[in-house]
Chain A
Amino acid sequence: MTCTEFLAMLDDMIDNTVSREMRSDLQEHLRGCEHCEVTLNTTRKTIEIYRSHEIYEMPTNLRDRLHKAIMERCKKGC
């Protein structure tokens, strides 16, 4: 397996949607390729870091104000 072939399967590897045979081929490639191992690990970390940090936090007062505005307009039939 080449690095290009590995990269084409990167998302499936991360999302765990590869067959057992394919996974074993990918892992075989990883054992001999530090670059692809770094790419896989840091891509996983990228996803994890975005998932665990809310970058557009909605302050409670804003949330309450918008929620109230929506519901008031819905009650009036929009």
Chain B
Amino acid sequence: MATIQSVANEPEQHPDVALVERVKTGDISAYDELVRKYERQIFRIAQHITQNREDAEDVMQDAFLKAYEKLDQFQGNSKFYTWLVRIAVNESLMRLRKRRTGKMVSIDEDIETDEGSVPRDLADWAPDPEQNYTQAELAEILRKTIQGLPPGFRVVFVLRDVDGLSTEETAESLGLSVPAVKSRLLRARLQLRERLARYFKRKKVAREKGVKSDVH
């Protein structure tokens, strides 16, 4: 009874904390739950950074294994998921470096680009622009568009806007400052908007064909 009451008196506690505690006492089924809960997100983040399916599979496995090995080091100062994402981001960057040997890959380097900082394409979009495409076409457009962004922009956008992490959690996961996350998020959103406008804006001229090959 005392245990139940003490848990009930801590409404702030994230459900993952209890799962992590169970894993630490040797209950592997609790880790099974954590893996199941976050495997899709981790796979998605790894795909966005590495842009390679095999690498993403490896990263996902390695990230969960590393997190399991290092669970004693997890102090609970941050959310388990934020801590796990940080491991997955580091593993992803390592894979990327292996593929691009000799080329430095980092998400904290300053990205010199003005693209999107001043919106140029100011035509409004159709009310439901995605309806002009099949699901497969749309997925391809969205993939190509986000792949054209620098890795440091992509990952900030994915963590903040797709995964729903807060600015602070995103900063913590990536080892970036809060102002750096904010600056990247704005530029990522504007660059994506600018690039998607090519597909989604209201067509004023009927001869706009072949736009699909326009994105890189």
B contact residues, total (Cβ < 8 Å):
46
CA of A70 to CA of B68 in the docked complex: distance in angstroms?
Answer: 10
**B119 — which chain A residues lie within 8 A by C-beta?**
7, 35, 39
Whole-angstrom CA separation of A34 from B119 in the bound complex: 13
Q: How far is the CA of A62 from the CA of B43 in the complex (A)?
A: 11
- Count of chain A residues with Cβ under 8 Å from any Cβ of B? 33
User: What distance in Å separates the Cβ of A51 from its nearest Cβ neighbour in chain B?
Assistant: 6
B150 smallest CB distance to A (angstroms): 17
Which residues of A are found within 8 Å of B43, using beta-carbon distances? Answer: 56, 58, 63, 66
Nearest residue, chain A, Cβ from B48? A56
B189 to chain A, nearest CB (A): 5
Nearest CB on B from A29, distance (A): 14
* B36 proximal to A (CB < 8 A): yes
Q: Is the CB of B44 within 8 A of A75?
A: no
In the complex, the answer to whether B200 meets A11 with C-beta atoms within 8 Å is no
- Say yes or no: is A1 at the interface (Cβ < 8 Å to chain B): no
> By the criterion CB–CB under 8 Å, are A63 and B39 in contact?
yes
Q: Is the CB of A21 closer than 8 A to any CB of chain B?
A: no
Report whether B28 and A50 are in contact in the complex, using a CB–CB cutoff of 8 Å: no
20 example contacts (A-B, Cβ-Cβ < 8 A) are as follows A11-B189, A35-B119, A35-B122, A39-B122, A42-B124, A42-B197, A43-B190, A45-B200, A49-B196, A51-B162, A53-B138, A56-B43, A56-B143, A58-B43, A62-B57, A66-B39, A69-B61, A70-B35, A73-B65, A74-B65
**Which B residues form the contact surface with A (CB < 8 A)?**
28, 31-32, 35-36, 39-40, 43-44, 47-48, 56-57, 60-61, 64-65, 68-69, 118-119, 122-125, 129-130, 135, 138-139, 142-143, 146, 157, 161-162, 182, 185-186, 189-190, 192-193, 196-197, 200
